[in-house]
Structure 1
Amino acid sequence: MSKNKVIVFVKNTISGKVKTRLAKTIGKDEALRVYLRLLAITKEEVSKVRAEKEVWYAWEVSENDIWDENY
Structure 2
Amino acid sequence: MEEKESKQTLYLVMGGRVTDPRSVTFNDPESIHVAGVYSTYEDAESAWRGNAQRTVDDAEMKYVIVHLHKLLDPEA
User: How does the TM-score come out when normalised to structure 1?
Assistant: 0.32
Q: Please say which structure displays the higher CA radius of gyration.
A: 2
Instruction: Give the structure with the larger strand fraction.
Output: 2
